[in-house]
Amino acid sequence: MPSATPSRPMRLRAIVPPLLILPTIGLLLSGVITWINIGFTADFTARWLRGFVSALPVMLVAFAFMAVLDRKVQQVFAGRSALARKLILAACTACMMELLLASVVTLSNRGFAPGFAIAWGAAFVKSLPVGLCVSLCMGFVIKPQLDRLAAGR
């Protein structure tokens, strides 16, 4: 009789992808924001990595908050179609992530020096399209695949 618990390789297949997705998104978004803040200078890589390390704890908190955001969107927009709810969730997630990451990475790159608010605003507005693309890919492509993988299909 087969056991009810999944095999070790199946558990790893369900755990590893989400653990790789968050740092990948963090590297992408922190790289874009660092480029917006300082351009491709000689110390770009060092500042990018410092911004990424600074952004990881914030991303973990934001990732945990996304479940709450998902439930709220499902409640508030219950009368809307599933497509509309996914689009709203993607837009809210992108705005939240870009707001937080632009703050942390800009602070890491510039400190609270004069012009921080302008640099933060530029980073937020210019990186938002990338964040929207990432959120849409997560909501419509990656998350459904992860859900199927977690379900064991």
- Give the pTM: 0.82
40: amino acid identity, one letter? F
Radius of gyration of the chain, Cα coordinates, nearest whole angstrom? 18
Q: Is residue 111 part of a domain?
A: yes
Q: Is residue 101 part of a domain?
A: yes
What is the Cα 5 distance to its own chain's centre?
31
| Residue 80 lies in domain | 8-151
Q: Is residue 1 part of a domain?
A: no
Q: Is residue 143 part of a domain?
A: yes
pLDDT in tens for each of the 153 residues of the chain? 455 555 666 667 667 777 788 889 999 999 999 999 999 999 999 999 999 999 999 888 888 888 899 999 999 999 999 999 999 999 999 999 999 999 999 999 888 889 999 999 999 999 999 999 999 999 899 888 888 877 765
Q: Is residue 17 part of a domain?
A: yes
- Structurally, the chain folds into a number of domains equal to 1
Q: Is residue 3 part of a domain?
A: no
Tokens describing residue 45: 């890589």
Q: Is residue 2 part of a domain?
A: no
Q: Is residue 61 part of a domain?
A: yes
Q: At 5, is the secondary structure helix, strand, or coil?
A: coil
128: amino acid identity, one letter? L
